[in-house]
Structure formats: structure tokens, C-alpha cells
Amino acid sequence: MERALLQGFLEEGLSLAQIGRRLDRHESTVAYWIQKHGLRANGRERHSARGALDRNELASLVERGMSIAAIAGTVDRSKATVRHWLCEYRLSTVWAERRRGSKSGRRAMTLPCPRHGMTTFRLRREGGYRCARCGAEAVTRRRRKVKQILVKEAGGACVLCGYNGCVAALEFHHVEPAEKRFSLSHRGVARSLARARDEASKCVLLCSNCHAEVEAGQAVAPVAVDAL
């Protein structure tokens, strides 16, 4: 490589990697010719050897669940340097542990969750891990949302007394018990919305009190709309 060409690139402020891309050469080759021509690479001071990373500091950052990139930004070192010292100290980031666990089929791991701290993560069928508590909360939110949709579509109030104060107190009563495939008041709302709607078409909406009276034979529920 010609000295004048390299000097021009350096005066533009280009790094070794940028010069390498311009010349279609590896940056190590560029570094060799810069040194051979007695030139000085841009950012040399920043990339010069700065000693080992402190093990305790590195371990603390790993325990906080930080990725290699995040650690590199925190300690102001390159990702390659961080990887080197993680290997030297036999430390692994959370992400590395997750990848290894997923490949080996490990069903559960204790990992940091931004919401719940250190807690159990479970392997998903599609791969990767998810906080078990976050997953349970997501299921609960979906069940509530589906029930709210079904209650609204069913009129939003008890067909006997008109109660509409609390969605949780409203229940779906199967007019023909023999046609019941699953309950909509409990685990049923975790099914697909289409299947839940199909099941709701066989029911009438009752509050918990009226539902108890109907089941005890003290009240009579009207016929479901789809049964008319």
C-alpha cells in the first residue's frame, strides 16, 4: 500500500476498519502497512492496551444481567476485550447462559427479570426463555380481556336482575348442560376468542347470585339467543 494513499485516509480521520473497507483489505493488513510507513493510526491511544478488567467489577455487571455490549459501554472497552476477560475469569453473561440452556433443552433457569428481579424463567416451545411470572400475568390479562369482550357481546349485564357492576361477578350459564364443551367462567377464557364466542352462544349471562339460584332451581334462566 502506498504511503501517500494511507496518509490521505488518516488525514480524513478514518479508522483502520474504514480504510480496510475502502481498500478491500483486512484492518490488520492496513495496520501493518501504516506501521511500516511510520504513520500513526487514528484512535491509537484509545485502543492501546489498558490492562486487565477488574474481576469483581466484571462479575457485578454480569450479575446485573448486562450483555457484552452493555458491559463494554460501561467499562469503556471493546466487546472483544470484554469477551476475553469473561473467558479468562470463567464468567458468562445471562445471554450466553440462555443460549446454551436453550440449545440443550434445559426447561427452567433462574435469571434476572426487569420487573421481578431474579426469578424462574421457563423454556418456550418456540425457543428462548421467558419469565414465568410475566407469562402468568400475560395469560391473566388475556383471560380478562377475552371475558370482557364476551360479556359486552352478551349484553353486559345479568339477564335476570340487570347487575353490571363487576365483570368478574358475571358468569356464563349453559342453557343446555349437555351442549357444554368447556366453562367460560374459569379456564375456558384462555382458549381462542373464536372458540370462546362459539361456546358463549350457548349461554346466557348471569350474575353470580342469580347463577347460584338457577343452579339450585330457585330461578329459571331464559333461553340463549342462538337457541331460539
Determine phi and psi for 122, rounding to 5 degrees: -115, 145
Are residues 170 and 205 part of one domain? yes
Are residues 208 and 149 part of one domain? yes
Determine phi and psi for 210, rounding to 5 degrees: -65, -35
Comparing 186 with 218, the larger pLDDT belongs to 218
Are residues 202 and 163 part of one domain? yes
pLDDT confidence of 179, banded at 50, 70, 90? confident
Give the whole-angstrom CA distance, residue 197 versus residue 176: 16
Comparing 132 with 43, the larger pLDDT belongs to 132
**Domain range for 187:** 141-227
Nearest to 81 by CA among 113, 59, 50, 43: 50
Residue 152 domain flag: yes
Are residues 78 and 39 part of one domain? no
Please state which of the ranges 80-84, 101-105, 145-149, 171-175 shows the lowest mean pLDDT: 101-105
Q: How many domains does the chain have?
A: 3
- For residue 106, give the 3-state DSSP assignment: coil
Q: Is the pTM of this model over 0.85?
A: no
Are residues 60 and 25 part of one domain? no
What's the pLDDT score for residue 225?
46
Are residues 57 and 43 part of one domain? no
Q: Please give the torsion angle defined by the CA atoms of residues 108, 110, 112 and 117, in that order, rounded to the nearest 10 degrees.
A: 110
User: For the chain, how many residues are written?
Assistant: 228
pLDDT confidence of 227, banded at 50, 70, 90? very low
What's the pLDDT score for residue 137?
92
Owner of C-alpha cell 376468542: 193
What's the pLDDT score for residue 57?
92
Burial-class residue 204 by CB neighbours within 10 Å (0-12, 13-18, 19+).
buried
pLDDT confidence of 44, banded at 50, 70, 90? low
